[in-house]
């Protein structure tokens, strides 16, 4: 299936979901749905570096928060200097660029480290970034920042519905990008790095360059997911925005769903995200993380290939390479793997 | 920011003492990460667990927290052994330690922390003992006993661990398992059992470290997160498994943190340890007295 | 194809023909206090069939790693095709035409055999200026390479389904896929049967006839002797002999250091 077709299908699904949600006419669906879709984007973004390349990023929160805080900075500019009021897609672009650049920088500094050290370094970087933001009074520092969300936006109406729609489009874009990578030469390169970086180098794969591409794309997508967040939540606080909670979710969802393809993070985010929303409402929000922690540990022990892996085993198909099972699309339409 | 010699000396001394405590906190990870190559990112959570258990013993039975934690060390040892067994069967055997092993410990970190939140709430807890409160005055130095006592006991514990690792058969087997598992097997020693014991010891140190922590400062479940950076920074800087190196690195970090906090304010403190870590990783991954 | 004539003892072509493809000068490598390689000087003309032997731990694999860029040598230089390799990453050296197989096979475990071969094709061959390969050409090349090493019918299998021997063949096929000018085969034949060894040898000889220079690192003396036109002996990080195979084997120092053990 070529990418444009894939995109059309998913845009169609999104339109359907949006229409149904409007029909149900309960704003809670939009509020909860936004969070779930945000995690689809975050999980998919994380997986590009974590699942495809095998480099675990503990600093997802930092990229997410950078996107959010660049929106805050621009918002302050708008209110202080009566600046041009930027529409959200543009804010997302800016957030994406900022986080992408930071992703590149982080990669440049840390990608020479082997596995575990890289993971710890990403955590360290996230905390350093958090400390910098907390000490930057322009965006509110540790006191936090208030964003006033507009009530309405034509032609959709309720602003929260608009945010929901935007996040859904981002989620679709994220899975489309992930899938495009999988089917390309880049995807093969990523898989070779994941499996054996030394052998990949010896085979001619420019490992550092590819890893930098992965961190940049991953960071940029996370930044884009974070950019609308201040408008969603109204009050931004560094401790929670930079919190480890985002890190654990963006790691748990792909691991639970399955790391080898774009399907995994989607399934993981939809399931786990919905579960968390239900738990928050019925029990308490602290239980959320308990659930995530437990599921993460359980899945990582008994189902290393995630839900996708379980499905494949159940249907007795050999879980062959998911990346690379499909051939490079461009030249060979219609050939069955 | 008033610069005075008084302030400086006290900051440095305070840093050294805190550093001693950091050394105890890190010694467990020196064992598990430095020697066994297991990235136990959940270690701080076990320390907090130790803090809370010491708190319970202290609040309900009036027992001295350090004593209580020593009594609980065997429990922690068993916990550590169990966790290693699961880790080994699920990850090490399959060769998937890097991604999934990390995720496993990350999950444990959250499970432990949230369980504590659900059980104890997010209020700060503290313990009471005779040495918490008074300070020791000496010339221009002003040393709170609640920092001095844990520091001294920490150093004793670290020294004891070092002696164990270098002098006893079991200790040397642990050092050996990091270098050559086959050779150990040929000597009829099961490397898996050795690693299990070693990891158990690593978690047991967390019990004691937890008592130290709650003596030095009030504790609530998310305090552990600040220590992740400190622990790994000290472990890497100290040379991955060298206990003397750990002590030196811990004191260095303690001093730098103390100076930063005193002269620039505490909000920059987290950046210090994590910045240290990044610097070490970038410049000298082998640490100060590295392997 | 450039015919490699008889060589002098120090490795330069006797008739002063084409400059060396691989030129190693005074190469040294230490690991902390341990000297792994010392003063290695070697000249490999194009088209050569060089055998590299030496006891375990003599530094053969370290030398390969330094040549290919997996390790950095502190001393000395390596030149390939007249170009100095200092500072070049391993993947850049592979793209220049320097390929190696690993002593302990390092397959890409989550990819099929066909995809294992595809990686070097995509990243080495396809990037060389002027050679754009369509996807189906790459597909055919994968199949052909696997067939050459006798793994044709296992193209869609995963490496974990292979025997040790088959993994070595995959390792070799993957190195060949990079279409190298110089191929270093690091103990590719360990554990193979006589007929399998003969297969691999004839494969390597065929490659050589097509113009690929080959350095064969082996312990199996019969294979080394029948394949090599020149033999280099490494002991404890130093080169102690370099010349025609028969001459080298008769060298008393070689006998003492290597064979006499």
Is the per-residue pLDDT at B247 higher than 70? yes
pLDDT at C41: 92
Mean pLDDT for C33-41 is 89
Min Cα distance B257 → chain A (Å) is 14
Question: Which of A200, A219, A32 lies closest to A122, judged by CA?
Answer: A219
Q: What is the mean pLDDT of chain B?
A: 85
Q: With pLDDT > 90 as the criterion, what percentage of chain B qualifies?
A: 31
Is the per-residue pLDDT at C8 higher than 60? no
pLDDT at C148: 87
Dihedral angle of Cα A36, A42, A43, A47, to the nearest 10 degrees: 170
Residue C37 in any domain: the answer is yes
Q: What is the mean pLDDT of chain C?
A: 85
Is the preceding omega at residue C206 within 30 degrees of 0, hence cis? no
pLDDT at B99: 80
Q: With pLDDT > 90 as the criterion, what percentage of chain C qualifies?
A: 38
Is the per-residue pLDDT at A92 higher than 60? yes
CA angle A96/A139/B1 to nearest 5° reads: 130
Q: Which residue of B has its CA nearest to A243?
A: B225
Min Cα distance B229 → chain A (Å) is 6
Mean pLDDT for C48-67 is 90
Residue C159 in any domain: the answer is no
Is the per-residue pLDDT at C204 higher than 60? yes
pLDDT at A205: 94
Q: Where residue A17 falls among pLDDT bands split at 50, 70, 90?
A: confident
CATH number of residue C83's parent domain: 3.40.50.300
Residue C64 in any domain: the answer is yes
Distance separating alpha carbons of residues A46 and A59, to the nearest angstrom: 10
pLDDT at C253: 84
pLDDT at C6: 46
Is the per-residue pLDDT at C132 higher than 70? no
pLDDT-wise least confident of A317-331, B10-24, C42-56, C67-81: A317-331
Distance separating alpha carbons of residues A312 and A326, to the nearest angstrom: 16
pLDDT-wise least confident of A64-78, A309-323, C57-71, C187-201: A309-323
Residue A306: list chain B partners with CB under 8 A. none
Mean pLDDT for A278-287 is 82
pLDDT at B3: 67
Q: Where residue A316 falls among pLDDT bands split at 50, 70, 90?
A: low
pLDDT at A336: 33
pLDDT at B241: 78
Residue A272: list chain B partners with CB under 8 A. none
What are the C-alpha distances in Å from A312 to residues A207, A302, A306, B250? 30, 15, 10, 49
pLDDT at B95: 63
pLDDT at C90: 92
A188, A320, A330 member nearest C118 (Cβ): A188
Quote the DSSP letter at residue C98.
E
Interface of A with C in 207-236 (CB under 8 A): 207-208
Chosen from A141, A142, A258, A300 to mutate, greatest number of chain B CBs within 10 A = A300
Residue A248: list chain B partners with CB under 8 A. 106-107, 110
Is the per-residue pLDDT at A90 higher than 50? yes
pLDDT at A335: 30
Cross-strand partners of C214? C49, C183
Is the per-residue pLDDT at B112 higher than 60? yes
Distance separating alpha carbons of residues C217 and C215, to the nearest angstrom: 6
pLDDT at A331: 31
Q: What are the structural domains of chain A?
A: 13-314 (1.10.3470)
Is the per-residue pLDDT at C196 higher than 80? yes
CB under 8 Å to C155, separation ≥6 — which residues? C112, C113, C114, C142, C143, C146
- A283 touches B: beta carbon within 8 Å: no
Of these ranges, A54-58, A285-289, C115-119, the one predicted with the greatest mean pLDDT is: C115-119
Residue B108: list chain A partners with CB under 8 A. 293, 297
Of these ranges, A23-27, B111-115, B172-176, the one predicted with the greatest mean pLDDT is: B111-115
What are the C-alpha distances in Å from A52 to residues A66, B101, B200, C110? 24, 17, 34, 11
Which of helix, strand or coil describes residue C233? strand
More confident residue, C127 or C154: C154
- C131 touches A: beta carbon within 8 Å: no
Mean pLDDT for C217-246 is 90
Distance separating alpha carbons of residues A237 and A220, to the nearest angstrom: 21
Q: Domain of C61? A: 22-106+179-259
Residue C146 in any domain: the answer is no
Residue C98 in any domain: the answer is yes
Q: Do C110 and A195 touch (CB under 8 A)?
A: yes
User: For the residues of C18-59, what is the DSSP string, one character each?
Assistant: SPPSEEEEEEEEEETTEEEEEEEEEEE-TT-EEEEE--TTSS
Q: Do A199 and C94 touch (CB under 8 A)?
A: no
Residue C172 in any domain: the answer is no
Dihedral angle of Cα B272, B274, B279, B280, to the nearest 10 degrees: 110
Mean pLDDT for A103-120 is 82
Q: With pLDDT > 90 as the criterion, what percentage of chain A qualifies?
A: 36
Mean pLDDT for C236-240 is 89
Mean pLDDT for B262-273 is 80
Q: Where residue A320 falls among pLDDT bands split at 50, 70, 90?
A: very low
C150: left (phi over 0), alpha (psi -120 to 50) or beta: left
Q: Do A121 and B281 touch (CB under 8 A)?
A: yes
Question: Which of C236, C98, C235 lies closest to C178, judged by CA?
Answer: C98
Q: Which chains touch C (3 or more CB pairs under 8 A)?
A: A
A54, A120, A293 member nearest B98 (Cβ): A54
A199, A260, A318 member nearest C102 (Cβ): A199
- C41 touches A: beta carbon within 8 Å: no
Q: Are residues A98 and A72 in contact, defined by beta-carbon separation less than 8 angstroms? A: no
Min Cα distance A116 → chain B (Å) is 7
> Within a 10 A sphere around the Cβ of C199, how many other Cβ atoms?
17
A123, A127, A290 member nearest B271 (Cβ): A127
Q: A with B: how many residue pairs have Cβ under 8 Å apart? A: 121
Q: Where residue C9 falls among pLDDT bands split at 50, 70, 90?
A: very low
pLDDT at B286: 59
Look up residue A227 and give its two tokens: 């950019």
More confident residue, A29 or A225: A225
Min Cα distance A337 → chain C (Å) is 10
Cross-strand partners of C217? C52, C186
Distance separating alpha carbons of residues C92 and B93, to the nearest angstrom: 35
Is the per-residue pLDDT at A315 higher than 90? no
pLDDT at C129: 62
Distance separating alpha carbons of residues A305 and A259, to the nearest angstrom: 7
- B270 touches A: beta carbon within 8 Å: yes
pLDDT-wise least confident of A219-228, B98-107, C16-25: C16-25
**Residue A281, H or E segment:** helix A263-282
Q: Do B114 and A290 touch (CB under 8 A)?
A: yes
Q: Where residue A39 falls among pLDDT bands split at 50, 70, 90?
A: very high
Instruction: Output helix, strand, coil percentages for chain A, rounded to the nearest 5.
Output: 75, 0, 25
Q: Do A331 and C70 touch (CB under 8 A)?
A: no
Q: What pTM value is reported for the model?
A: 0.87
Instruction: Match 């008769």 to its residue by tokens.
Output: C250
Q: With pLDDT > 70 as the criterion, what percentage of chain A qualifies?
A: 91
Classify burial at A188, counting beta carbons within 10 Å of its beta carbon; exposed 0-12, middle 13-18, buried 19 or more. buried
pLDDT per residue as tens digits for the range B57-108: 988 988 888 999 999 999 999 999 999 999 988 887 766 557 888 889 989 9
Residue C166 in any domain: the answer is no
Residue C91: list chain A partners with CB under 8 A. 200-207
Q: Which residue of A has its CA nearest to C120?
A: A203
Q: Do A200 and C119 touch (CB under 8 A)?
A: yes
Of these ranges, A51-65, A305-319, B3-17, the one predicted with the greatest mean pLDDT is: A51-65
pLDDT at C5: 42
Is the per-residue pLDDT at A191 higher than 90? yes
Is the per-residue pLDDT at C232 higher than 60? yes
Q: Are residues A227 and A45 in contact, defined by beta-carbon separation less than 8 angstroms? A: no
Is the per-residue pLDDT at A37 higher than 90? yes
- B264 touches A: beta carbon within 8 Å: no
Q: Are residues A168 and A12 in contact, defined by beta-carbon separation less than 8 angstroms? A: no
User: For the residues of chain B, what is the DSSP string, one character each?
Assistant: ----HHHHHHHHHHHHHHHHHHHHHHHHHIIIIIIT----TTHHHHHHHHHHHHHHIIIII---HHHHHHHHHHHHHHHHHHHHHHHIIIIITTT-IIIIIHHHHHHHHHHHHHHHHHHH-SS-B----TTSS-EEEETTEEEEHHHHHHHHHHHHHHHHHHHHHHHSHHHHHHHHHHH-HHHHHHTT--HHHHHHHHHHHHHHHHHHHHHHHHHHS-B-GGGHHHHHHHHHHHHHHTTSS-HHHHHHHHHHHHHHHHHHHHHH-GGGHHHHHHHHHHHHHHH-TT-SS--
Question: Which of C41, C20, C106, C170 lies closest to A197, judged by CA?
Answer: C106
Question: Which of A24, A46, A25, A4 lies closest to A223, judged by CA?
Answer: A46
Q: Are residues C27 and C49 in contact, defined by beta-carbon separation less than 8 angstroms? A: no
Look up residue A252 and give its two tokens: 């748990």
Q: Are residues C112 and A321 in contact, defined by beta-carbon separation less than 8 angstroms? A: yes
Which of helix, strand or coil describes residue A327? coil
pLDDT at B54: 93
pLDDT at B45: 94
Min Cα distance B222 → chain A (Å) is 10
pLDDT-wise least confident of A139-153, B27-41, B111-125: A139-153
Q: Where residue B288 falls among pLDDT bands split at 50, 70, 90?
A: low
Q: Do C120 and A320 touch (CB under 8 A)?
A: no
pLDDT-wise least confident of A306-315, B177-186, B239-248: B177-186
């Amino acid at each position: 299936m070529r990418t444009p077709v894939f995109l059309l299908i998913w845009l169609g699904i999104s339109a359907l979901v949006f229409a149904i949600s409007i029909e149900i006419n309960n704003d809670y669906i939009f509020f909860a749905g936004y969070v779930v879709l945000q995690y689809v984007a975050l999980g998919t973004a994380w997986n590009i570096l974590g699942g495809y390349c095998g480099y675990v990023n503990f600093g997802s929160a930092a990229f997410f928060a950078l996107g959010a805080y660049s929106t805050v900075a621009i918002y302050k500019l708008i209110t202080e200097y009566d600046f041009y009021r930027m529409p959200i897609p543009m804010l997302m672009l800016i957030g994406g660029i900022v986080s992408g650049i930071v992703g590149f920088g982080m990669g440049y500094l840390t990608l020479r480290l082997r596995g575990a050290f890289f993971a710890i370094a990403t955590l360290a970087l996230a905390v350093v970034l958090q400390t910098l933001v907390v000490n930057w009074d322009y965006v509110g520092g540790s006191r936090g920042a208030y964003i006033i969300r507009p009530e309405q936006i034509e032609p959709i109406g309720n602003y929260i519905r608009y945010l929901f729609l935007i996040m859904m489009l981002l989620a679709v874009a994220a899975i489309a990008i992930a899938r495009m990578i999988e089917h390309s030469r880049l995807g093969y390169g990523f898989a070779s790095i994941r499996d054996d970086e030394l052998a990949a180098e010896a085979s001619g794969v420019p490992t550092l360059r590819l890893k930098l591409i992965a961190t940049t794309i991953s960071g940029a997508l996370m930044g884009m997911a974070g950019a609308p967040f201040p408008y969603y939540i109204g009050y931004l606080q560094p401790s929670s925005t930079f919190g480890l909670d985002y890190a654990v979710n963006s790691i748990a969802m792909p691991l639970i769903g399955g790391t080898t393809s774009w399907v995994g993070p989607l399934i993981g985010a939809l399931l786990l995200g919905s579960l968390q929303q239900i738990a928050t409402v019925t029990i308490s929000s602290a239980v959320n993380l308990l659930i995530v922690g437990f599921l993460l540990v359980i899945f990582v022990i008994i189902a290393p290939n995630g839900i996708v892996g379980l499905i494949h085993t159940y249907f007795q198909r050999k879980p062959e390479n998911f990346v690379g099972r499909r051939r490079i699309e461009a030249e060979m339409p219609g050939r069955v793997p | 920011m008033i610069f005075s010699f008084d302030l400086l000396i006290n900051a440095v001394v305070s840093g050294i003492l805190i550093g001693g405590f950091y050394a105890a906190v890190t010694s467990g990870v020196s064992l598990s990460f430095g020697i066994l190559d297991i990235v136990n990112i959940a270690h701080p959570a076990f320390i907090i667990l130790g803090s809370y258990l010491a708190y319970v013993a202290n609040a309900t039975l009036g027992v001295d927290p350090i004593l209580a934690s020593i009594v609980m060390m065997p429990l922690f040892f068993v916990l550590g052994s169990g966790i290693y067994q699961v880790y080994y069967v699920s990850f090490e055997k399959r060769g998937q330690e890097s991604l999934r092993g990390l995720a496993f410990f990350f999950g444990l970190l959250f499970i432990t922390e949230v369980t504590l939140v659900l059980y104890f709430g997010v209020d700060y807890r503290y313990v009471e003992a005779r040495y918490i409160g008074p300070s020791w005055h000496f010339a221009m130095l002003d040393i709170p006993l609640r920092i001095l006592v844990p520091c001294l006991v920490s150093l004793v514990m670290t020294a004891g661990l070092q002696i164990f690792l270098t002098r006893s058969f079991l200790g040397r087997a642990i050092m050996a398992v990091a270098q050559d598992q086959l050779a150990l097997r040929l000597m009829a020693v099961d490397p898996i059992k050795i690693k299990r014991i070693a990891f158990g010891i690593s978690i047991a140190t967390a019990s004691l470290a937890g008592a130290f922590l709650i003596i030095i400062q009030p504790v609530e479940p998310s305090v552990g997160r600040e220590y992740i950076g400190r622990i790994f920074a000290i472990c890497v800087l100290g040379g991955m498994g060298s206990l003397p190196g750990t002590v030196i690195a811990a004191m260095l970090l303690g001093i730098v943190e103390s100076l930063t906090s005193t002269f620039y304010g505490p909000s920059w403190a987290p950046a210090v340890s994590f910045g240290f870590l990044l610097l070490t990783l970038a410049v000298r991954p082998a640490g100060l007295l590295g392997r | 194809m450039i015919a490699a004539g008889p060589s002098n003892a120090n490795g330069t072509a006797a008739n002063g023909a084409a400059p060396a493809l691989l030129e190693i000068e005074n190469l040294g490598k230490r690991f902390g206090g341990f000297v792994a390689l010392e003063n290695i000087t070697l000249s490999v003309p194009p088209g050569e069939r060089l055998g590299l032997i030496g006891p375990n731990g003599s530094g053969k694999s370290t030398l390969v790693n330094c040549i290919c860029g997996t390790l950095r040598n502190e001393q000395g230089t390596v030149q390939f095709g007249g170009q100095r390799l200092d500072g070049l990453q391993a993947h850049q050296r592979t793209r220049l035409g320097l390929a190696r197989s690993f002593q302990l096979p390092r397959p890409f475990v989550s990819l099929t055999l066909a995809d294992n071969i595809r990686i070097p094709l995509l990243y080495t061959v396809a990037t060389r200026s002027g050679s754009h390969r369509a996807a189906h050409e790459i597909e055919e090349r994968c199949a052909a390479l696997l067939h050459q090493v006798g793994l044709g019918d296992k193209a869609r299998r995963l490496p974990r389904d292979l025997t040790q021997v088959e993994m070595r063949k995959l390792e070799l096929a993957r190195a060949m896929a990079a279409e190298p000018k110089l191929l270093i085969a690091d103990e590719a034949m360990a554990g193979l049967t006589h007929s399998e060894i003969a297969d691999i040898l004839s494969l390597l000889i065929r490659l050589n006839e097509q113009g690929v220079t080959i350095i064969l690192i082996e312990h199996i003396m019969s294979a080394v002797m029948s394949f090599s036109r020149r033999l280099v002996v490494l002991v404890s990080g130093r080169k102690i002999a370099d010349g025609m195979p028969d001459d080298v084997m008769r060298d008393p120092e070689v006998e003492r250091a290597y064979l006499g053990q």
